Structure 1
Amino acid sequence: MSRFRRCRQPGCHAMVQFPNHYCTKHFEHEAEYLANRQRWARAHSKQYQRKYNNVTRYRNNTKSKQYQFYKTRTWSVLRQQVLDRDHYVCQYCGQPNSRTVDHVVPIEYDEQRMASIDNLATICRQCHRMKTQWEQAYYGTGQGNHRKEVPELHDVKEIARQMKNDGRFRNGLKDF
């Protein structure tokens, strides 16, 4: 089925089939528009990439070391072992075909368990997002937070229960 959008010419309400941006009446503007988009993308791509790598992702030596771990062969082997062990099923909500592997106790909290298979679990994207928010509240991890001295939770079901009982995550997790 074809997708359509409005012509980008101000005041024109004609519908245009993707991937075009202008109707036949205003098609002479199409090449100029595409050239401007490409010029802008070339000029800004390095700026955004630099900001992501240097400011967000590698904001200090500790974070840089943590993210370098994810590029090693050790991580890729561990990740595949965990996915095989868990049969690609999210250990938090039970969703099949989950391909993300997460540290049960975050690396920021206990760096010694970074390469421990016992500290890894398969998790779906939605649960991973909610767990990251939960970790920031519980452990105090994440940018701008201060680490809290709380007991480490190693049981996935207990973490899922606490995430479910927390008011922010009630609608996200299924019942066990």
Structure 2
Amino acid sequence: MPRVRRCRQPGCHVMVKLPDHYCAKHYAHEAEYLASRQKWTRSGDQATTHKYNTVTRYRTYDKQEQYQFYRGKQWQSLRQLVLDRDHYVCQYCGRPNSNTVDHIRPVEAFPDDKDNIKNLATICRKCHYKKTKFEQKYYGCGQGNTLTGAKPIDSINELALIMRRSLLWNDGNA
């Protein structure tokens, strides 16, 4: 018996033989689907990743310097020290098993504080996403933005309170 799967067209329940993805009625979508899969397959290769990191993502000298810092041994040891200090608990919401270490003051706005352990805190993915959105608005960090020169916020509790009050925090996910 040949191996089969359902047609990928939404609402179509016709079974098709492998390696096809669409039935005869929707076969026109097959080439488009294969092209999109090939695009994603190529994106994982080392040359594409290197080109993205060196040309697209890190165009400026500052971004290249940040990239090299995060790849170095100094960052790895700082990161592990902070995770051990904070016991893998998010310092913003208290969620356990958080593996991300974040700068309280963003590196883009305050490059001198990038290796200061007092400027580092453990943070969960959800809080990190929301904090990044807050930093983009408040400090003007991120690609395409210009720095605002805003007064730095050094307290995690103050940052968490501001983020809780903002609409970004109360979007129904927290």
Return the TM-score normalized by structure 1.
0.75
Q: Distance in 2 between matches of 1:98 and 1:143?
A: 26
| 1:105 pairs with 2:111 | no
Whether 2:126 is the aligned partner of 1:120: answer no
Cα deviation, 1:43-100, whole Å, max 9, x if unaligned, reads 8436853663245421211011011101111100000000000000000010000000
- 5+ long unaligned stretches in structure 2: none
Q: Identity of paired residues, percent? A: 48
In structure 2, C-alpha distance between the alignment counterparts of 1:172 and 1:156, rounded to whole Å: 22
Distance change (3 Å), C-alpha of 1:82 and 1:42: closer
Q: Is the 8 A contact 1:127 1:172 kept in 2?
A: no
- Does the Cα contact within 8 Å between 2:5 and 2:21 map onto a contact in 1? no
Q: Matches of 1:37 and 1:133 in 2, distance apart?
A: 33
CA contact (8 A) 1:127 1:173 kept: no
Unaligned runs of 5+ in 1: none
**Cross-structure match for 2:68:** 68
Cα distance in 2 for residues equivalent to 1:109 and 1:142? 10
Change beyond 3 A, Cα 1:22–1:40 = closer
Q: Which residue of the partner structure matches residue 80 of structure 2?
A: 80
Query: How many aligned positions are there?
Result: 162
- Per-residue CA shift, 1:118-143, capped at 9, x if unaligned? 00000000100000000011111111
The alignment's TM-score, normalised by the length of structure 2, stands at: 0.76
Check conservation: 1:164, 1:172, Cα contact below 8 A.
Answer: no
- Cα distance in 1 between the residues matched to 2:5 and 2:89: 39
Q: 1:160 to 1:22 in 2, by over 3 A?
A: same
